[in-house]
Structure 1
């Protein structure tokens, strides 16, 4: 039984938090899981256009729901859906009435209202306050709108909006996943303004809260603490665009009137639950007087109408004054039963900031010790409630319990069966996870054409008919028919372990293309994981990617084996720098055996003297990046670190990050490289708009098209230099391009080690992390990393630049679907999904990107060719 409970807790914890990027499953309008009686409307034109016909991609009745009469701009006709339970709703899809080419009515826009109890209705609005979403432009195409922020609800109303008198009809699908937390509201003091000298003003309020706001307190609603968006280490930075500094956090000051040493929050749930833990994501930027809470005290109520129980749960945190990273703090709640929880979070510094709070509870409510004890002294032992069966004969006055025995036995049998099913599912999931480590996930059953849009959250999906699956089809089947991804690819199943059997041309074409075309040295036949993955025969990713990243969590360049083996200690040309002159400023990231720090190097210009490689600093301090090997690193990691120093010491190009000096005379081993004032290119561009009259008039940070082209040329120049040395980068992206104040770019390899960009990497369980959205098909399917695969990544990097890094590549596809898409690139049957052409990108430049993403490796351009093609576009 203890094992059963442990397995239940593990399964519950795994689903205790929701990631909006992955919570995108169809909830049942199209496939009928949402019943007709759960779909209602304010009116209908005919019986055959009733609400039960408002199902996406279905054409029963007259093809859709249509409200009665012409819709006027002042009307509030609605379609209402009861989801049957609390749901985390992330996406809404709509269509018009097509009716087999006989209808042409659709809604061009709509609003959303939602309710968690069916009584109190709230209007949805996006993060900048808009309530209207764009919908359809014709009667047949599906339009998918992401909800930013997502909502937690059971009932949803879609209200078509029009500016002219017109007829509208709608078909709908809703996407999301069950809200397992059960939280239906939280109450908290309002957030406050932070006005630090020398920094932007941070507004730490709950901007999406949907409850009441009175007397500097929020109550009766939900907001940013439950939207699935986790704040960054620096609270002034945000994951959303066009919002203010501090947006992702709710924060309070210690000495304000509403706090008085602690912040009190109350949480109300849908029913009684046995709570195992509470997870609080808290900021810890102690350099700006922000720390996680020092302790927390939680009280419990089994019912809302009763008082708070006397016994509380206390928890003291371990404060961290060395690592400024934001983190989750898990508070054990000792399986206490409650429907409401009140927690007081005590300050450890001037400020306290939270971005997410979630609760984990057992599915079965087992009454805790407190609820069994009767505290009133006037109640005798006979009146005490007992959960154990009586052993004595019942008296004549006792009611017979024959009717309860079968119910009790049935409940016990049901519980046992549920436990057996849970154990079976956990074991099955573990087996499937092991299989998925070695193969891309199964490609799902439907195929769609996706048109991505850069300027909104709207995309168009046109779904062609799917032929019925034959009874002898092979490959794994969908184990959960109730959940289907929104963005679907190809029905064929791809497994790299059997690719050569299923696709005979792989062993020939991949061998010829992945190693040929002038991208691989012909004499390189045997390589280690830290060297280039050139070989004479195809080999699979699982044999090579185990050591993809370096010991500090960064990429570490790959070079031919012969070149590396010929290096010795005397090849380290970098000088020894006094480590006591390195002053720590910030931790940029970490890996398994090392860390990357941002430091100030005192006296570095004087250390170099005449001929210093440093640019003119105008008297300002010199910022450097310091890679440091941990004291507990293995001997292999130590050797790899020295090898990386040797490799870095050979690089000398204006557009490659430079190794300045080292600290290797004593432990810990350190290498000191350049660091640029403007940080990485991804962060720089994402905070800017394209130059225009409006940006000049409002002093909005901007870049010109010429700037973007100049950046592209510099990156191609740096990669041309690496290619000339047969160096393979393997992680080229804007996050790995640093920028100084003169817009000079230097290619680096810090991106993988930074928490800020963790979502850009796909983690293979127990093994490496891969930047799959930037990787060529042969790198994902075959584990081959060559200069040609760097060319592919360069094409994606260009795409990032000309979208101003406003979104992640393939942002509407999950990691698994990105992997599945690489199979389409290999098959080359016209089903692969390409990145769209950015609006800022000249057509000739997008054609160059498409050449970088060529299926046939020898046909991709070289970096020399890319540099020569881009250079004429820049005004010299």
Structure 2
């Protein structure tokens, strides 16, 4: 398998995070959604154009010889707007009897199936290289990615030939719902002493007339985040300033830039996030204020009352940043925003929107209504007043219930927005109420202690009371109790206790289980109890993620069931290849990394539970060292739930993927069971979240540790001075402030995981707080003065279950439930 990657700095690109197969190969895209301009035979119809499948006669083949002037196409309806990042193609192999393939193709796409656009790469080329044989799949990254529902692949040839194709598309749902934006064209910056920067929207796919862009999408939605220095780009072979769209103050005849945004349907908008450059010493700043007007329908007029927001300007930190603009839960299908200049230049690299699925008016409109029955259908006069009275009462009750639900949501959101101040003595923080713009004024930093005493950088400056061990133990009674070395701190100052746990981050980027160090000190290769698997039987399918010294790959394992024998923990594959996750140590790994890798193998080999990912075999007889673990058909729980709705009559009628309350409870019980097992072995996971829970087709959950290594979830981790990443939104207060990881801190993370499950993973925990505000809120848990902010109660969550979550987030470690208690509390609610 080959790949094509043009993007440098892909870690910050949404396109690099969003690379999930969309369902050609596994059948989620059904036959009726795959059409073509023609087909040679019934057995080479478009329904057979599925990557790695050998059904029918092995592929889609258009009728006759393909001519250079032909525009034969294979069309796929993805069913919803999708952020498309990768295309995979194959020829027709037909069990070693076929030899037709396409050497090149073009890509057309459409939001509605009516207006079609042609994809072109960042250099303007519309043709993509494809296959040079009939069986090897070729994976091509789309630079730029596209947002579309309908996709057409058009094979291209330079001479008459027979062509056949198989296909897989990769990406993820486009939850923004944005279908187009309009703006003034970007401008040219010619500063003395610096390179000329062209700040135009070079990938815009709409109309470009009279210096105005309209009706399309471009760089502001391509997922590539601009860097602090706007002249430095994340793409190769492009000009300075490529990642930004920018405008000069005064060049537009006003002091603002006006942009219009059109969406697929009416939405209830909560916020807008704008990634803006702030290199103030070059005359570039984030916008000073923004005013947004709303239009409920495209043919309506703009509403009279706009939402206005003023940012807190920053003349100390030149870093580019996201600015979050609250939109007040306004219902609209189109927005018009005016961004006001704060300096000579204003530059944006990305704009995204957060919105609910239904607005207030939609909820009211969906309520039952009373119609006047015809005369022949009217009941007798004696029953009519009673019937009308009952209907009116029902309607009033529905309105009251809806009002109470919306009011509770509003109050919870307002409480979550409130920023907290915890560092009065050493740090002064000025925050806009909902902005991501933060100004820190800090005193001189004291000399750093040695790496032996203080192996990790502090998350933030601590008050003097944190530095005094005696005072700290007086304030935290749980630290003064007798405990074993791996349960509490013995150091003179709080720190991340490197001697108490194996490592903060595994060599492959995964957060491997923490255990007392004494259990792994004497490990050698002879301690590895699982079998050596033939390396050549592992067929690479997809790169899942990477860490400092290793990578995680999705592979097919040929003959694995026969190799492992009866009783192997493998699902029924129905004749399909066995998928496994392969952690591989890179050749340049240090000796310490190699030893840690062998330790991780030893740790994994000890785990044997139905709800824990199991180590199947290894490849350690030669380099690179590999460990092979289970992988589940349905991927991770976060992606699985985020693509579903709660089961209802509507989801059944429209064939929408859905889950029931019973399903969610069953998932919760399984996670608590797996964590109960880890706790019984005194293992601490330290990164429990839905992204680290994998599902099979029967909704069986297995807890894993791949989340940290995957770019898709990089925004869930907070980076400390480039040294380590922490899932702070899932971490207990003592883990963030003191580096203390125990089973009790895993219980805290389990509470957050429950919250994710019952919000169907539709938003990140504390989504309205920046990372710095989440850390400040952690300080409020330490102070325990009643000002800490908790996660709001999910609408889908029974009150008793939310009470259980709140117990998991108890400030006092000893008062949190155990995993055994959590399992016993949850199990009775699951239908056996």
TM-score, structure 2 as length reference: 0.53
User: How far, CA to CA, are the matches of 1:722 and 1:865 in structure 2?
Assistant: 14
Kindly indicate whether residue 186 of structure 2 is the aligned counterpart of residue 268 of structure 1: yes
Aligned residue number for residue 494 of structure 2: 540
User: How far, CA to CA, are the matches of 2:577 and 2:13 in structure 1?
Assistant: 43
Q: What is the aligned counterpart of 2:175 among 234, 241, 245?
A: 241
Distance 1:278 1:814, change over 3 A: farther
Aligned residue number for residue 321 of structure 1: none
Q: Deviations over 1:83-114 (max 9, x none)?
A: xxxxxxxxxxxxxxxxxxxxxxxxxxxxxxxx
User: How far, CA to CA, are the matches of 1:649 and 1:812 in structure 2?
Assistant: 40
Q: What is the aligned counterpart of 1:475 among 415, 421, 426?
A: 426
Q: Deviations over 1:282-329 (max 9, x none)?
A: 9xxxxxxxxxx9xx9xxxxxx989xxxxxxxxxxxxxxxxxxxxx941
Contact 2:469–2:493, Cα closer than 8 Å, also in 1: no
User: How far, CA to CA, are the matches of 1:242 and 1:248 in structure 2?
Assistant: 11
Kindly indicate whether residue 790 of structure 2 is the aligned counterpart of residue 839 of structure 1: no
Aligned residue number for residue 581 of structure 2: 625
Aligned residue number for residue 593 of structure 1: 549
CA RMSD in angstroms comes to 5.3
Contact 1:515–1:535, Cα closer than 8 Å, also in 2: no
User: How far, CA to CA, are the matches of 1:239 and 1:866 in structure 2?
Assistant: 34
Matches within 5 A, 1:766-805: 766-805=722-761
Contact 2:465–2:471, Cα closer than 8 Å, also in 1: no
Q: Deviations over 1:462-485 (max 9, x none)?
A: 699x9xx9xx9743445x89x675
Farther off after superposition, 265-274 or 770-779: 265-274
C-alpha displacement at 1:690, in angstroms? 0.6
Matches within 5 A, 1:322-337: 328-331=234-237, 333=239
Distance 1:768 1:607, change over 3 A: same
Distance 1:278 1:559, change over 3 A: farther
C-alpha displacement at 1:269, in angstroms? 1.9
User: How far, CA to CA, are the matches of 2:441 and 2:469 in structure 1?
Assistant: 12
Aligned residue number for residue 731 of structure 1: 687
SS at match of 1:785: coil
C-alpha displacement at 1:231, in angstroms? 8.3
SS at match of 1:575: coil
Aligned residue number for residue 438 of structure 1: none
User: How far, CA to CA, are the matches of 1:453 and 1:504 in structure 2?
Assistant: 48
Q: Deviations over 1:780-799 (max 9, x none)?
A: 00000000000000000000
Q: What is the aligned counterpart of 1:806 among 743, 756, 762?
A: 762
Distance 1:662 1:514, change over 3 A: farther
Aligned residue number for residue 495 of structure 1: 461
Kindly indicate whether residue 631 of structure 2 is the aligned counterpart of residue 675 of structure 1: yes
User: How far, CA to CA, are the matches of 2:822 and 2:200 in structure 1?
Assistant: 48
Q: Deviations over 1:729-779 (max 9, x none)?
A: 000000000000000000000000000000000001121000000000000
C-alpha displacement at 1:835, in angstroms? 0.3
Kindly indicate whether residue 644 of structure 2 is the aligned counterpart of residue 688 of structure 1: yes
User: How far, CA to CA, are the matches of 1:846 and 1:560 in structure 2?
Assistant: 33
Distance 1:610 1:866, change over 3 A: same
Matches within 5 A, 1:75-474: 236-238=170-172, 240-241=174-175, 243=177, 267-269=185-187, 328-331=234-237, 333=239, 459=410, 474=425
SS at match of 2:722: coil
User: How far, CA to CA, are the matches of 2:181 and 2:533 in structure 1?
Assistant: 40
Q: What is the aligned counterpart of 2:718 among 746, 751, 762?
A: 762
Q: What is the aligned counterpart of 1:508 among 470, 474, 498?
A: 474
User: How far, CA to CA, are the matches of 2:475 and 2:275 in structure 1?
Assistant: 51
User: How far, CA to CA, are the matches of 1:817 and 1:608 in structure 2?
Assistant: 49
Q: Deviations over 1:531-561 (max 9, x none)?
A: x564345753456499411000000100012
Kindly indicate whether residue 819 of structure 2 is the aligned counterpart of residue 863 of structure 1: yes
SS at match of 2:592: helix
Distance 1:795 1:280, change over 3 A: farther
Contact 1:193–1:201, Cα closer than 8 Å, also in 2: no
Q: Deviations over 1:802-847 (max 9, x none)?
A: 0000000000000000000000011111100000111111111110
Contact 1:739–1:745, Cα closer than 8 Å, also in 2: yes
SS at match of 1:550: coil
Aligned residue number for residue 146 of structure 1: none
Contact 1:195–1:202, Cα closer than 8 Å, also in 2: no
C-alpha displacement at 1:503, in angstroms? 9.9
C-alpha displacement at 1:727, in angstroms? 0.2
SS at match of 2:464: helix
C-alpha displacement at 1:506, in angstroms? 2.8
Aligned residue number for residue 558 of structure 2: 602
Contact 1:516–1:858, Cα closer than 8 Å, also in 2: no
Contact 1:194–1:201, Cα closer than 8 Å, also in 2: no
Structure number with bigger Rg:
1
Contact 1:280–1:329, Cα closer than 8 Å, also in 2: no
Q: Deviations over 1:248-273 (max 9, x none)?
A: 999xxxxxxxxxxxxxx995328766
Contact 1:304–1:340, Cα closer than 8 Å, also in 2: no
Aligned residue number for residue 318 of structure 1: none
Contact 2:176–2:355, Cα closer than 8 Å, also in 1: no
User: How far, CA to CA, are the matches of 2:532 and 2:758 in structure 1?
Assistant: 41
Distance 1:492 1:537, change over 3 A: farther
User: How far, CA to CA, are the matches of 1:586 and 1:804 in structure 2?
Assistant: 26
Distance 1:852 1:278, change over 3 A: farther
C-alpha displacement at 1:616, in angstroms? 2.1
Aligned residue number for residue 373 of structure 2: none
User: How far, CA to CA, are the matches of 2:717 and 2:211 in structure 1?
Assistant: 44
User: How far, CA to CA, are the matches of 2:645 and 2:414 in structure 1?
Assistant: 32
User: How far, CA to CA, are the matches of 1:508 and 1:553 in structure 2?
Assistant: 37
